[in-house]
A = this chain, B = another copy of it.
Amino acid sequence: MGKHRNAPIITSPAAMRAAARRGEWHGSTGGQCSAYQQANLVILPKEAAVEFAAFCTRNPKPCPLIEITPPGDPEPARSAPGADLRTDLPGYRVYRGGELVEQRSEIRDLWRDDLVAFLLGCSLTFEHALIDAGVGVRNVEGGTLVPMFVSNLACRPAGRFHGPMVVTMRPIPEAQVQLAGELTARYPHAHGAPLHAGSPQAIGIADLGRPDYGDPVAIHPGEVPVFWACGVTPQAVALEARPELMITHEPGIMFLTDLPREGDSRS
């Protein structure tokens, strides 16, 4: 339940990536570069990558594809030209056979000609829009990681990849639930409209006080728990398939793209 203290606000994704590359950036990306899209990173060997791409297209709410890189190419040429996905995030997690084996600040020496990077949309993108519209986001206010839960909503399988959807939860005042839904629907590249509002039990969540990932938040009287599809889903599903190698970002510390926040990732 640790607090994630942020460094001073940085507004340029390129400056953020350069700081990460120099080893001078360590905090969460929540609240940073609010005009731009943030992205989840999943790196897999080519052997598993087509099936994973299929999984993402079959589950566009939890897995909105921003960019796939060709095998061996670490530059996301559309979403951040000139960036290097091996160095431009502050932290990486390395999994082998589904087990976390290492956490590191860059992955240059692990890079291979057959590795494929997936950049997937992230709800940190739409949190800025909620805040701008006067909808409080408790995890941002508290400087904690958004609480995430494994729901009983099944993803559509694709080959070896299958499993339940992971969701984020934000408490929203009852009078603002509709507004929050309408605002986030404008961000299909960042999970879009909520999947569910109200009873956590209805989607298989027993206890909102005990998230599966992230930190719990208080729910005040008159607030409704609202649930969005979460970009941890593809990571959780990929891990279950125990790929020989998988590399991801550290939770809450995303890749900063140059794509404008409002822009559909396909425009």
A residues whose Cβ falls under 8 Å from a Cβ of B: 46, 49-51, 53-55, 57-61, 64-71, 73, 77-78, 116, 156-159, 185, 188-189, 192-193, 264-267
A192 proximity list for chain B (CB < 8 A): 264, 266-267
A265 to B192, CA, bound (A): 12
**The residue from B51, B58, B193 contacting A71, defined by CB atoms under 8 A apart:** B51
Contacting pair B66 A265 (CB below 8 A): no
Interchain CB contact (< 8 A) of A159 among B65, B66, B70: B70
A48: nearest chain-B partner, CB-CB: B50
Chain B residues positioned under 8 Å from A78 (CB to CB) = 57-60, 156
| A72: nearest chain-B partner, CB-CB | B159
Complex: how many Å from CA A57 to CA B189?
Answer: 12
Q: Which residues of B contact A66 (CB under 8 A)?
A: 57
Is the beta-carbon distance between A266 and B60 smaller than 8 angstroms?
A: yes
Task: Determine the chain B residues whose CB is within 8 A of the CB of A51 once the complex forms.
Answer: 70-71
Enumerate 27 A-B pairs (CB-CB under 8 Å) in ascending A order.
A46-B50, A49-B53, A50-B53, A50-B68, A50-B116, A51-B70, A51-B71, A53-B53, A54-B69, A54-B73, A54-B116, A57-B65, A57-B67, A57-B78, A58-B67, A58-B78, A59-B78, A60-B78, A61-B266, A61-B267, A64-B266, A77-B156, A78-B156, A188-B264, A188-B267, A192-B266, A192-B267
Residue in contact with A70 in the complex, picked from B50, B264, B267, CB distance below 8 Å: B50
Residues of B within 8 A of A57 (CB): 65-68, 78
User: In the assembled complex, which residues on chain B have CB atoms less than 8 Å from the CB atom of A60?
Assistant: 78, 265-267
How far does the Cβ of A22 sit from chain B's closest Cβ, in whole Å? 27
Contact of A70 with B158 at beta-carbon distance under 8 Å, contacts A78-B57, A188-B266 already known: yes
- Cβ–Cβ < 8 Å partners of A193 in chain B: 267
Closest to A44 in B: B50
Question: Among the listed B55, B58, B71, B267, which residue makes an inter-chain contact with A50, where contact means beta carbons less than 8 Å apart?
Answer: B71
Determine if B58 and A77 form an interchain contact, defined as CB atoms under 8 angstroms apart.
yes
Residues of B contacting A49 in the complex (Cβ-Cβ under 8 angstroms): 50, 53
B contact residues around A61 at 8 Å (CB): 266-267
Further pairs besides A50-B70, A54-B116, A65-B65: 18, Cβ < 8 Å = A49-B50, A50-B50, A51-B71, A53-B53, A53-B68, A54-B67, A54-B69, A54-B70, A54-B73, A55-B70, A57-B65, A57-B67, A60-B267, A61-B267, A70-B158, A77-B156, A185-B267, A192-B264
A51 to chain B, nearest CB (A): 5
